């Protein structure tokens, strides 16, 4: 049976179409739902309409593939917006699409299920980090279980709008952001004291972009082709982090491997990641190209 899964993220609406174990088609459309309203708690009119147009395009693709079942899941931008219910209602009325709005805990569980399919989590505890546009999920886990999980309202789009850093980002911008993260992530710091982790696993999104830029810069883009995981060399990551801190938006847009949609948010993302790596003295970093939508697929098997 052909199944379509739509992941309505804050930055992108992702589509995955499968038949059994076979991936038939996958794509994403940039929507940037948080633009102009995320820190005020609503979806502004332009991104609101942009989101509906993206859903219409996805539904057209789903019809072309003749998928029998369509499942749609909405996350941070829609669940935290005062007009999020209105967006869900408009999608139902205009497009006939039923959208499930899931909470942060459920989102973290589905991300874990997706990552678990992408790589061998092993017996040792790892920390999964999924940087979205509206929220960031953290999961402490191994291949057998989740020990702790939490969703924070610390997505890249939300932080970008809150701090509005200079271009290039200034040292004061970085300090302000790191001080904010130190306070906001107190539950994570406490959890990591109880469950220490040496490995950070970045789930999709910003980590995809980092791996693609690194592949273009140091290796060959082909090293990522068909892979569901990638082991970062921390020296490569630190080089890229320093490059991004010094770069302008235009320089980032011109960087091979950079997804244009992420060029404005990637600096916030790398400051976030770098602070975590340094604070927790994490020695290993991996990419999982699987995230929520692949977790939904795994959930459907049970």
The angle at the Cα of 223, spanning 222 to 226, to the nearest 5 degrees, equals: 80
pTM: 0.95
d(CA 238, CA 226): 25
- The whole-chain average pLDDT of the chain stands at 96
- 75 class by beta-carbon count within 10 Å (0-12 exposed, 13-18 middle, 19+ buried): buried
Rounded mean pLDDT, 107-118: 97
DSSP state of 82: T
Report yes or no: 18 and 67 within 8 Å, Cβ to Cβ. no
For 104-114, what is the mean pLDDT?
A: 96
**Each residue's pLDDT tens digit, 136-154:** 999 999 999 999 999 999 9
pLDDT tens for each residue of 168-181: 999 999 999 999 99
Q: Is 90 exceeded by the pLDDT of residue 233?
A: yes
Q: What is the pLDDT of residues 22-33, one digit of tens each?
A: 999 999 999 999
- 7-42 b/e with 16+ CB inside 10 Å = b? bbbbbbbbbbbbeeeeeeeeebbebbbbbebbbeeb
Radius of gyration of the chain (CA): 18
Convert the pLDDT of each residue in 181-215 to its tens digit: 999 999 999 999 999 999 999 998 899 999 999 99
- The 10s digit of each residue's pLDDT in 76-102 is 889 999 999 999 999 999 999 999 999
């Amino acid at each position: 049976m052909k199944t379509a899964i739509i992941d309505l993220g804050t930055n992108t609406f992702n589509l995955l179409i499968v038949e059994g174990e076979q991936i038939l088609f996958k794509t994403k459309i940039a929507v940037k739902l948080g633009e102009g309203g995320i820190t005020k708690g609503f979806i502004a009119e332009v991104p609101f309409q942009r989101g509906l147009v993206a859903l219409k395009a996805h539904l057209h693709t789903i019809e072309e593939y003749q998928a029998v079942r369509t499942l749609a899941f909405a996350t941070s931008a829609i669940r935290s917006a005062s007009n999020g219910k209105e967006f869900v209602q408009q999608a139902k009325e205009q497009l006939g699409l039923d959208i499930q709005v899931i909470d942060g805990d459920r989102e973290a569980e589905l991300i874990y299920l997706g990552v678990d399919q992408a790589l061998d989590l092993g017996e040792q505890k790892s920390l999964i980090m999924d940087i979205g546009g509206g929220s960031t999920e953290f999961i402490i886990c191994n291949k057998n279980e989740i020990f702790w999980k939490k969703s924070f309202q610390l997505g890249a789009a939300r932080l970008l709008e809150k701090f509005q850093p200079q271009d290039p980002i200034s040292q004061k911008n970085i300090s302000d952001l790191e001080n904010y993260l130190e306070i906001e992530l107190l539950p994570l710091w406490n959890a990591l004291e109880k469950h220490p982790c040496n490995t950070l696993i970045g789930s999709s999104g910003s980590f995809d972009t980092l791996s693609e830029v690194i592949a273009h810069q140091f290796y060959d883009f082909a090293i990522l082709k068909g892979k569901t995981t990638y082991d970062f060399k921390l020296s490569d990551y630190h080089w890229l982090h320093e490059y991004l801190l010094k770069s302008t938006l235009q320089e980032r847009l011109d960087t091979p491997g950079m997804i244009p949609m992420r060029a404005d948010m990637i600096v916030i993302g790398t400051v976030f990641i770098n602070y975590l790596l340094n604070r927790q003295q994490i020695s290993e970093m991996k990419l999982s190209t699987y995230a929520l939508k692949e977790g939904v697929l795994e959930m459907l098997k049970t």
